[in-house]
Amino acid sequence: DLRIAYELAEYMGLDASQIMPIDEKQMFYNQLAGVQIVGADGKTMEPLLTLTEADIKEIGAEGTPQQGRMTWQELRTKGVVQIERKPGDNFGFIAYEDFVKDPVANPLNTESGKLEIHCQALAEFVKSKGFTEIRPIPTYNPALEGYEATYADFNNKTKGEYPLQVINPHYLRRSHTIFDNVPWLREAWPNPVFLSGKDAEERGIKEGETVLIRSKHGKTLRPVHIVEWIMPGVVGLPHGAWVEMDEKNQVDKAGSDNILTGPIATGQGIGAWNSTVCEVEKWDGEPLEEDVKWPLRIVL
């Protein structure tokens, strides 16, 4: 991300060193030196890592040696930090415990001093931003490009041009976008689009075929996996694929979920990135080659 920021700065004629005055090695050291861990009393925080002059030199940063719970080498070897629990320790936490035990003596920081189902303060705060408004009580607000948008005529239940909702399940091939370039994971998890049997039958789509998923914002291709565990009217496009544009046809080949979403600015109480509608249809072009056979992107 930092390299992208530097390149954008250069492209815009800005001095990258003024935007980010410390380098990545120094930032890494600062993060290590700043990590705190709770002490035995369950309250006092202390440094997690012991960092020696040699450690700081190895990292390539400037800093002061410090004493912590474990060494930098131990953290690299173990990869995790664990806090031992035992009966009677002070590591437990119950939210609003004092309020629950005695709400009169321990009021909350609200106008009523209580948990507020009707919260006028929240509604006024959102309104003060001058962007969107919410009601002071929990309310169903139809999402932009949500369920209602799959209909041309909602009252008469007449479906429109984009009759399917898109969900983006997190997929075992990657963590968000990280690791999507790993051949072993691409072989194990082919990253199809999931379609219900009913929706597939209505469209004449068969298992494994390459299909086109299109919204009013973009188009993407994927092999289809027909399942009965997804609700008819819903498409499951796994989250996080790296974009692979076919510039000739102006279509993404990788199944990137962001290709289907639009630049919809939203405010409080709205999740635009979880709202997308689409259509799925047979692809009349060349079928996709398996992702694992695609050339790797190697940048370093």
24 confidence band (pLDDT: 50, 70, 90) = confident
1, two tokens: 């991300």
240, two tokens: 């996080």
Domain boundaries, the chain: 2-78, 94-139, 147-293
Q: How far is CA 42 from CA 83, 89, 178, in A?
A: 11, 7, 34
Q: How far is CA 178 from CA 75, 223, 240, in A?
A: 22, 21, 8
Find residue 195's DSSP bridge partners: 226, 235
Distance CA 51, CA 129 (A): 45
Taking only the tens place, the pLDDT of each residue in 128-174 is: 988 888 899 988 888 889 999 999 999 999 999 999 999 999 999 99
Scanning the structure block, which residue is given the tokens 């948008």? 149
Going by DSSP bridges, is the β-strand pair 49-50/70-71 parallel, antiparallel, or unpaired? parallel
150, two tokens: 């799959």
Cβ atoms of 194 and 256 closer than 8 Å: no
Instruction: Tell me what pLDDT residue 151 has.
Output: 98
300 confidence band (pLDDT: 50, 70, 90) = low
Instruction: Tell me what pLDDT residue 16 has.
Output: 78
Closest CA to 185 of 246, 241, 245, 260: 241
Taking only the tens place, the pLDDT of each residue in 25-83 is: 999 999 999 999 999 899 999 999 999 999 999 999 999 999 999 999 999 999 999 99
Fold exhibited by the domain 147-293: Barwin-like endoglucanases (2.40.40)
29, two tokens: 């050291």
Find residue 165's DSSP bridge partners: 234, 277
Distance CA 180, CA 172 (A): 10
Instruction: Tell me what pLDDT residue 270 has.
Output: 64
Looking at every residue in the chain, the average pLDDT score rounds to: 92
For the chain, percent of residues with pLDDT exceeding 70: 96
Taking only the tens place, the pLDDT of each residue in 170-195 is: 999 999 999 999 999 999 999 999 99
Answer whether residue 272 shows pLDDT above 70: no
268 confidence band (pLDDT: 50, 70, 90) = confident
